[in-house]
Structure 1
Amino acid sequence: MTNVDLNNKTIFITGVSGFIGSNLAMKLFNTLEGIKIIGIDNMNDYYDVKLKESRLEALERDPNFLFIQGNIADKETIDTIFNTYKPHIVVNLAAQAGVRYSITNPEAYIESNLIGFFNILEAVRHSYDAGNTPVEHLVYASSSSVYGSNKKVPYSTEDKVDNPVSLYAATKKSNELMAHAYSKLYDIPTTGLRFFTVYGPAGRPDMAYFGFTNKLVAGQKIQIFNYGDMYRDFTYIDDIVKGIALVLQKSPELTEDNVKYKIYNIGNNQPESLMYFVETLETCLMEEGIIDKVAEKELLPMQQGDVYQTFADVDDLTRDFGFKPSTSLEEGLRKFAKWYREYYMG
């Protein structure tokens, strides 16, 4: 692997007001010297924009942060950013997220996840033209969703992943294929990261733990799919951003087929049952005085696009970076509950 010195560099982060993007930017500012971060986000209303604005407010306290409201699917916007700010490192985290939403709003996924990523790849490619500042490393978000209904566990990056069960998953697998092609054609070092069920304070309200909490607070019953017989490799946000920060600092060497391309899983390597997850969440919320009783549960069949379990094999990540996510579900949900009480209840 090739070491990439991030100090005193310009880093371009797409989806910067998002859950992962904002936390990554904050971590980089706290651990690196002399960096400038250019961030872009379209600030859409897929979930509460106020949450995105509060994340941005924290970032904008640093004078070396510049925010641009725009859409990565707009080629002119992306080209202008690259021509003006000449980023050394690019982190593509902008995407239309959500498995279930992709069934009802497929156009949003094609625009952001395919056209948007294509624009990023093209801009990185042209950074290698004469007179430009070449991008040293492109890191982009993939997803555990690419494993589809794979029966073999834990999920390894060596597994064949040609059976997506949602359009969202298909677009993420497409990102990996597109990155491989650009790495091969233009000698661009690219690393894709398959994230596993990311959660934590100030997370995405469309995620199960956040939605469950809102319903618990409102005294409503919560819906649990596949009758509770589901497992997820819940990964705490601090572990995710630590993993990204480490990966940014080492770009892939040429593989056997002569391409600077790598994929890693970032997951907790410890699937938890959905029922245990709900019980732990309820306990943490009661400890913080947010709720005073458990919720009524409605057990339902598996939803279209869902999978039975996710389970990350992180041996590659541990071998190459000496790092493995380790935050327990109890610790992570306790921190989420504390944040929820402070943010929503003062």
Structure 2
Amino acid sequence: MKMQKKKLPDSISRQLEKFVKFVKKQFSNAKPALENLRNHLSTLQKQSARQKNIPIPAQDAPTPVRKRHMRYDRMILAALLLFLIVFLLISLIRCAAKGGKPDVQAANAPVVTTVVTTLSPEQLQQRHAVYPHAITVVGDSIASGFSLYGAIPEENGLAKGCVAIRNIHDFTFADSSGAEKDILEVLREKQPPYIYLSMGMNDINLLSAEEYTAQYAAEIEKILTICPDSDIIVAGITPILPSSDFTSNASIQQYNAALAQTIQQLNRENVAYFDAYAVISDPASGGLAEMYSAGDGVHLGNAAYPALLNALCPLLDAMPVPPAFPALEQRLTETTAAETAISGTE
């Protein structure tokens, strides 16, 4: 039975290869210096011999003279070896110092997590069907449409009219028992796998973009403290019809750009920005597409919410899977399979 040779990790192999190349380069640079040192010592030897009237040793030179010159050769060799050892030590220290710098920079750099899914197309489709049951929507009257139109279960809708990021704690929301509580208390009890935050239409005319994003970031940090295992999706403000005079789509896009930058700066792998504006906007007008309008130019109609959820799925696929999600996915999948089996026998 042949023993397989263990390979060094790629990182160590690359460091060793870099060090060997560095030493070779430095040693080749040191050759002229060593040669000059040897010639200089040889010249000193000859001068010393001439000053003492001692002839330069030859093969037939007397034994004491030959021994004296052998001592000189050994001294030269020892000096060369000492010089080489010191040079290699200095090179090693320099190489180690250079090798250490990238590690320090890497430690300070933002952590980027790449999630590689191995799910089949059928498994992905099944997971996408589970997402609406795992998402709790928090926000204003536009966000309330998710549960109002049946895109998510009613108990997962924590949204009310007039809610804004600046005043969300002025409102109460029903928990699982129907008791009205602050949004943070409800989320603490619920611990949803995914939290979809959607508000801003009621802020845009009263807060600057800087105030809006600062208050949003503060609320996200509060939610992360009480729901550390939840994934948070921060939706951009949705567009309005170009004919609406509530605000302008240019202002909405400005606030959304500031919000997207704020989420990026948070640098949390379980917090992501979702460009809801792009999903339901009309490429021709740049505003809300007519097919997604509820008629007043600001609120969204029934068709908008499935479109938003479908566009959200790839983003959720790329985020870390919340610890509570697999159990929910298994339970819902088993329930669906059982219902399918029952309907097939009828």
Task: Tell me the TM-score normalized by structure 2.
Answer: 0.36
Q: Which has the higher helix share?
A: 2
Q: Which has the higher contact order (CA 8 A, sep 6+)?
A: 1
Task: Tell me the TM-score normalized by structure 1.
Answer: 0.36
